[in-house]
Amino acid sequence: MTDTPSPVLIESDGPVTIVTLNRPDKRNAMNAALITAMIETLESLRADERCRVVVITGAGPAFCAGMDLNEFFGQEDRTAASRERVIQNASEWRYRLLRHFPKPTIAMVNGGCFGGGFSLVECCDLAIANREARFGLSEINFRHIPAGPVSKSMASILRPRDALLLALTGRPFDGAHAERIGLVNEAVPAEQLLAHTLALAHEIAGKDAAALRLTKESYRYAAEMGWDASLAFTAAKSYELLARQVNGESRDAAVLDFRAGRLKPGASE
Ligand code: COA
């Protein structure tokens, strides 16, 4: 009996965790098993103090061929309720879990990136692409639309003319063009992709973890707020940062004291 390979691989490079979508035979198309594995992986990395930055990439020649077209358009064997849950998970893990993940995330786009793969790139904080990687909002070519979080992702990262041109034509483009339109930070030759991405990840991993987390939260929420609400929000986040950096340590020390039996916070004076 052969074991089914895990749909997600996890590897550490010191404080940087590399998460690899691992369905190379299906060009890392996102099916229910891969989505569940990504949710579990991110939830475990959230609590893992050794992990300070997450890099997401794909095994084999592609980064991600989007949603698994066989599973998502041929699920007659699923009940309506379980199908709804699968579809909800498929969107939520990207636009909620990944987009608001408490540690910085970098998409390392090693190869083909289509449809749903776009929102995977957008929901990461940063992205570095292989200059030759092929991208495409290909849905229009099979009479579909950029569904789930893809339309919103495109609206939030691209200029309107670029987003609509790509969505209405389904034209493929390469990593160099993805850099020009701001879909990725940088496009580099394939042989430099890993070293380049890891250098960036390690640079960020060297910063204060609480400041990184709140910088990201401030940016993500401020983008959706008006000026007054965003000033109030970032003021509150500044106090939260102080609390995390100062009180957080003393609070943790108190919990350690309690666990070691040195402190009985409920005892009478
Ligand atoms: N869903 C399910 N299976 C997919 C898939 C997807 N989105 N994309 C690729 N695959 C499968 C193919 O069916 C094939 O499976 P098989 O070997 O069992 O026949 C396998 O992955 C390899 O695909 P292939 O087309 O032979 O590889 P390629 O390297 O020549 O081309 C792509 C790669 C990604 C360019 C091409 O597969 C493609 O256009 N896929 C669809 C991408 C897309 O439009 N996604 C949007 C979905 S929202």
Q: Tell me the Cα Rg of the chain.
A: 21
Q: Residue 164: pLDDT above 70?
A: yes
The pLDDT, as a whole number, for residue 11 is 98
- Specify the pairing of strand 126-130 against strand 105-109: parallel
CA of 254 to the centre of ligand 1 (A): 54
Distance of CA 56 to CAs 17, 127, 186, Å? 9, 9, 15
- By alpha-carbon position, which residue is closest to atom 40 of ligand 1? 65
Of 21, 25, 27, best ligand 1 pocket probe by most atoms within 8 Å of the beta carbon: 27
> Residue 112 Cα, ligand 1 centroid: separation in angstroms?
10
Domain 8-205 part of CATH 3.40.50.880: no
Q: Which two tokens stand for residue 21?
A: 């979508």
**Residue 269 confidence (pLDDT):** 61
Share of the chain above pLDDT 90, in %: 82
Task: State the Cα–Cα distance between residues 70 and 222, nearest whole angstrom.
Answer: 38
44 close to 129: Cβ distance less than 8 angstroms? no
* Mean of the per-residue pLDDT values of the chain: 93
Distance 71 CA to ligand 1 centre (A): 13
pLDDT digits (tens, 9 = 90+) for 201-225: 999 999 999 999 999 999 999 999 9
Name which residue leads in pLDDT, 101 or 241. 101
Tell how strand 16-21 and strand 8-13 pair up.
antiparallel
Is the distance from CB of 148 to CB of 116 less than 8 angstroms? Answer: yes
- Reported as a single tens digit per residue, the pLDDT across 101-122 is 999 999 999 999 999 999 999 9
Give the mean model confidence (pLDDT) for residues 122-143.
97
For residue 86, the model assigns a pLDDT of 85
pLDDT on residue 75:
58
At 224, the amino acid letter reads E
Cα angle value 83/89/94 (rounded, 5°): 145
Tell the residue nearest (CA) to atom 47 of ligand 1.
Answer: 66
Q: Which residue has the tokens 């998502």?
A: 72
Amino acid identity of 138? S
Does residue 31 line the site of ligand 1, with CB under 6 A? no
- Residue 1: is its pLDDT beyond 60? no
Q: How confident is the model at residue 54 (pLDDT cuts 50, 70, 90)?
A: very high
Overall pTM surpassing 0.85 (yes/no): yes
Tokens 């987009």 locate to 99
Amino acid at 212: L
CA atoms within 13 A on the CB side of 146: 25
Determine the distance separating the centroid of ligand 1 and the alpha carbon of 23, expressed in angstroms: 11
pLDDT in tens, 20-38: 999 999 999 999 999 999 9
How far is Cα 266 from Cα 108, in angstroms, rounded to an integer? Answer: 50
Report how far residue 108's alpha carbon sits from residue 255's, in angstroms, rounded to the nearest whole number.
Answer: 39
pLDDT of residue 72: 82
pLDDT for res 51: 98
Atom of ligand 1 nearest to the CA of 138: 44
Phi-psi region of 227 (alpha: psi -120 to 50; beta: other; left: phi over 0): alpha
